[in-house]
Amino acid sequence: MKVAKFGGSSVASAEQIKKVAAIVTADSERKIIVVSAPGKRSSEDTKVTDLLITLGETYLQEGEAEAELQAVVARYEDIAKGLNLGQDIVATIEADLRERLAFDRNRPESLMDLIKASGEDNNAKLIAAYFQSIGLKATYLNPQDAGLLVSNEPGNAQVLPEAFEQLAKLRGSEEIIVFPGFFGYSEDGTLVTFPRGGSDITGSILAAGTKADLYENFTDVDSVFAANPNVVDNPVKIKKMTYREMRELSYAGFSVFHDEALIPAFRNRIPVCVKNTNNPSSSGTMIISEREYFLSPVIGIAADKGFATLYVRKYLMNREIGFGRRLLQILEDEGLSYEHIPSGIDDTSVILRQGQLTSAIEERIVDRIRKELAVDDVNIERDFAMVMIVGEGMHNTVGVSARATAALARANVNIEMINQGSSEVSLVLGIHSEDADRAVRELYHEFFSGADETIE
């Protein structure tokens, strides 16, 4: 049994939903279908989720938002028309939206969750109606009826352990279940949405709960690539990769999955397959718990920009027990999370995402570090990029770091930081942001030139 999740672009229009139906029909193992809200039909289009946010915010501010509501209904109407579904389903959706707006305005966060989640929920109803109209045995299932219990944190739901037991009952369903992504219900019956990557999370939870043989994640690319196609021309396709490789690459800007999304599948060792709704015959990328490696110790190269370095120097720092802990306490007091802590003997740096650092926070932490830790020097520099070289084969291969650093030297990229040694599957190189694309291209050339079109 397979759980198949279809992302926003896969369900953005009647034409796309017909492709989804063809995919579902082609494999009788595809029993649980998780759907997103309709995404963009073109690069200028607006996602239904964004229309819904506008609707909710306007309604909260002005007490009515008829034009915004009609804009949402029009999207579904357009899709329903393209699928020859008639007006019933559109009327259902419109009534549903009006009912949501009638929710208690004194709970604005929950009201927003309710409105946002309607994008997935109504699309699931519409797609189930379409499946039925073409003769598939299919049914819409609401997450509350399915028992998808989550914590009551608006916009940041965490699945509760008892949800998995409830969802296990879906295994063996005769009918195809069409399930909306992005939300669950708290124990008191409140709808709560997941954080970023919400529909992927729903699919992952369902795959884990039903102990699916495979979790298929349909999107609009043929596979995960070994490097960003916007930076490297025609990067090779990755045929198989491990959860760990996926996680390290997604951290550094590979945007296929949000990193929390796969946890339930990962913990239950459910294989995940990334596939293309627009080219379903392509084999896609399999994400599994273990793999062998053959050609290259490296499977992917990613770079992420926007890092700052907090540099602290104090003579005999390494003898001062508690120094590092007190430094991290100061960051914690400001709610800052950090990424790496390269250290010398008398100095240490803390690398963190600079988006967190307002000038007020920066001033406070520099001031506290100077006063409380009596340091000789402290400063913050911005605009670093972290380049991540990832592969299961790296740990046991002598010379990966030699090849990587030589490639950067060839590209005349100064390495500001190297962090290797804890993760067995990655090497992190800190460089200046303006060197990032050049670095990725040269590293790609070093590790992938002469590789076939796909690697595993």
Q: Site residues (CB under 8 A) for its own copies?
A: 244, 247-248, 251, 259-260, 263, 266, 309, 311, 315-316, 318-322, 324-325, 328-329, 331-332, 335-349, 396, 398-399, 401-402, 404-406, 408-409, 412-423, 425-428, 430
> 73 vs 365, which CB is nearer to its own copies?
365
8 appears as a binding residue in the annotation: yes
> Judged by CB, which is closer to its own copies: 92, or 318?
318
Chain centroid to Cα 221, Å, comes to 15
Which of 164, 167, 155, 140 is closest to 191 using CA atoms? 155
Least distance from C-beta 370 to its own copies, angstroms? 17
CA distances to 112, 308, 334, 388 from 383, rounded to whole Å, are: 35, 6, 21, 16
Provide the minimum distance between the beta carbon of 118 and its own copies in the complex, in angstroms, as a whole number.
29
Q: How far is the CB of 400 from its own copies (least distance, A)?
A: 9
Residue type, 408: L
Closest alpha carbon to 186 in 137, 153, 140: 153
421 annotated ligand binder: no
| Choice between 105 and 326, CB closer to its own copies | 326
Contacts 24+ apart (CB under 8 A), 419-426: 419/340, 419/342, 423/244, 423/248, 424/244, 424/392, 424/394, 424/395, 425/242, 425/244, 425/245, 425/248, 425/390, 425/391, 425/392, 425/394, 425/395, 426/248, 426/388, 426/389, 426/390, 426/391, 426/394
Whether residue 49 is annotated as binding a ligand: the answer is yes
Has 399 been labeled as part of a binding site?
no
Q: 């291209």: which residue's tokens? A: 441
Provide, rounded to whole angstroms, the least separation between the CB of residue 353 and its own copies.
Answer: 10
CB of 182 to its own copies, least distance (A): 20
Rounded to a whole number of angstroms, the minimum distance from the CB of residue 158 to its own copies is 12
* Residues linked to residue 3 through DSSP beta bridges, in sequence order: 32, 215
Q: How far is the CB of 305 from its own copies (least distance, A)?
A: 17
The whole-angstrom separation of Cα 417 and Cα 428 is: 8
DSSP string across 17-68 = HHHHHHHHHH-TTEEEEEE-----SSTT---HHHHHHHHHHHHHHHS--HHH
Neighbours of 445 (CB within 10 A): 14
Pick 1 or 328: Cβ nearer its own copies: 328
7 in a labelled binding site:
yes
Query: Residue 190 or 204: which CB sits closer to its own copies?
Result: 204
Q: Which residues touch 180 (CB under 8 Å, ≥6 apart)?
A: 34, 35, 117, 120, 121, 123, 124, 142, 143, 202
Distance CA 253, CA 230 (A): 12
Is residue 125 a known part of a binding site?
no
Cβ neighbours around 180 below 10 Å, total = 27
How many CB atoms sit inside 10 A of residue 356's CB? 16
Choice between 50 and 346, CB closer to its own copies:
346
Minimum CB separation from its own copies for residue 201, in Å?
A: 13
Q: Do 116 and 53 form a contact (C-beta atoms < 8 A)?
A: yes
Residue 54 assigned as binding residue: no
The SS3 assignment for 214 reads strand
Q: Judge whether 220 is annotated as a binding position.
A: yes
Between 137 and 196, CB nearer to its own copies: 196
86 or 344: CB nearest its own copies: 344
For 296, the 3-state DSSP assignment is coil
CB nearer its own copies, residue 47 or residue 340: 340
Shortest reach from residue 373's CB to its own copies, in Å: 14
Min CB(246)–its own copies separation in Å: 11
- Nearer residue to its own copies within complex by CB, 228 or 349: 349
400: left (phi over 0), alpha (psi -120 to 50) or beta: alpha
Sequence-distant (6+) residues with CB within 8 A of 63 are none
Give binding residues as ranges: 5-8, 49, 120, 219-220
Give binding residues for substrate as ranges: 49, 120
